[in-house]
Structure 1
Amino acid sequence: MIHNKQTYHEYLKADQVALGISDPSFMSSLVSIISPNHIWKFQKTLRTLEYYHNCKNKGLNKIVYTYLRFKFKNISLKLGFSIPINVFGPGLAIVHYGTIVINSNAKVGKNCRIHACTNIGASGGSKKAPKLGDNIYIAPGAKIYGDIEIANNIAIGANAVVNKSFTEDSMMVAGNPAKAIKKIDITKIIKHI
């Protein structure tokens, strides 16, 4: 969780690396004006909102915080994302535009790569949501729900329905209901780690 300006910058840098965005140059700044990267814009707004929510939400900073919430809501609606603050660790990579719905009680570690049409939520009226470890790959259409835990270095296959815990690291999980398929090397899927 972002708890000071240093961790805010660390989260932004990790997200930038995860998305494969190079450091800004004059040419890349010019290109971003003409053709902006909306996912990067969303993630920067998410991290800035987290920073203001956690660290600077008093006094005159409440005005900035209120503006950031408005901006975040608008870009979320535009891209089809329903992602609350303080859920994802550093190194988040949202790969495509499209529906992504995340419960505010979910927790995801660092280096998560998530595709469109995914859902991480609670189940049956419970407020408890999944807790995912570090280095998680979530393929398109995956549904992860309930009071479950997912270990580190897990790849969740396309259209998988994950409603039970997987506590063994470095596994491919797929199917409906999801099953552990085989051992994997997550660095072949999430290239930046």
Structure 2
Amino acid sequence: MIKTKQHYHSYLKADKVALGRNSKKPFFADNIWKFERLLRKVEYYHNCKSSILWKPYVLFLKWRYHLMSVKLEFTIPKNVFGPGLSIAHIGTIVVNNNARIGSNCRLHTCVNIGTKAGHSGLAPKIGNNVYIGPGAKIFGDIEIADGIAIGANSVVNKSFLEPNISIAGVPAKKISDKGSEELLIKSTEIL
């Protein structure tokens, strides 16, 4: 969670590296990078600027964030993802606000990270360096270890505590000892 201006800047740097963005591409042409920058800005101002003087600006930022979320079809709440978030494509992504996801997560379109049915607070805890393939559904009071690669269209409804493996299927099961190593950029380690 972003707690200082220094945290805010380190999250932005990690996200930029994870997305593979360089300064040559025009900012206005990259909606995913604009979205991630706005997400981190909302997190920073929400967490660090609690004074009544900041309230109108924070509300304005949240309104802009909501509009951009609707445009890109992302339902990603603040303070869920660690640094190094990489969203691969524009398209439906739904994440519950009780989920906790570590650093260097790569998400694809049509991912759903939700709670156990009928329990609003029982959401997944996902480790660092996790790759989540297109269409994956992850739900319930479960834990996903570091370095796991989750295959496309998988349904993950139980914990996987063995690190650096691949899981896939409906329901998901271990399919390989090869994890997410080649599927994402570990930006927090690079920086």
Q: TM-score, normalised by structure 1?
A: 0.93
Q: How far is 1:61 from its partner?
A: 1.0
Q: How far is 1:59 from its partner?
A: 2.1
Q: Which moved more, 1:155-164 or 1:57-66?
A: 57-66
Name the counterpart of 1:141: 135
For the aligned residue pairs, the C-alpha RMSD in angstroms reads 1.1
Q: Greater relative contact order: 1 or 2 (C-alpha under 8 angstroms, separation 6 or more)?
A: 2
Counterpart Cα distance in 1 of 2:51 and 2:70: 27
Name the counterpart of 2:153: 159
Name the counterpart of 2:166: 172
Consecutive unaligned residues in structure 1, runs of 5 or more: none
| 2:119 paired with 1:122 | no
Consecutive unaligned residues in structure 2, runs of 5 or more: none
Counterpart Cα distance in 2 of 1:153 and 1:120: 17
8 Å Cα contact 1:153/1:170 also seen in 2: yes
Counterpart Cα distance in 2 of 1:162 and 1:10: 31
User: Which residue, out of 35, 41, 44, partners 2:37?
Assistant: 44
Q: Which moved more, 1:6-15 or 1:178-187?
A: 178-187
Counterpart Cα distance in 2 of 1:89 and 1:37: 21
| 2:71 paired with 1:78 | yes
| 2:58 paired with 1:69 | no
**3-state SS of paired residue (2:171):** coil
| 2:10 paired with 1:10 | yes
Q: How far is 1:57 from its partner?
A: 2.6
Q: Percent identity?
A: 54
Q: TM-score, normalised by structure 2?
A: 0.94
Q: How far is 1:187 from its partner?
A: 2.2
Counterpart Cα distance in 2 of 1:58 and 1:32: 31
**3-state SS of paired residue (1:46):** helix
Q: How far is 1:43 from its partner?
A: 0.3
Counterpart Cα distance in 1 of 2:51 and 2:20: 34
Is the alpha carbon distance of 1:155 and 1:40 closer, same or farther for their aligned partners in structure 2, counting shifts above 3 Å? same
Counterpart Cα distance in 1 of 2:172 and 2:132: 13
Q: What CA deviation, in whole Å up to 9, does each residue of 1:25-84 have, x standing for no partner?
A: xx54xx334xx2000000000000000111013222111100000000000000000000
Counterpart Cα distance in 2 of 1:20 and 1:65: 29
- Number of corresponding residues: 186
Is the alpha carbon distance of 1:147 and 1:95 closer, same or farther for their aligned partners in structure 2, counting shifts above 3 Å? same
The one-letter amino acid of 1:83's match is: I
Q: What CA deviation, in whole Å up to 9, does each residue of 1:125-173 have, x standing for no partner?
A: 1121000000000000000000000000000000000000000000101
Q: What CA deviation, in whole Å up to 9, does each residue of 1:103-144 have, x standing for no partner?
A: 000000000000000100001111210000000000000000
The one-letter amino acid of 2:30's match is: N
Name the counterpart of 1:93: 86
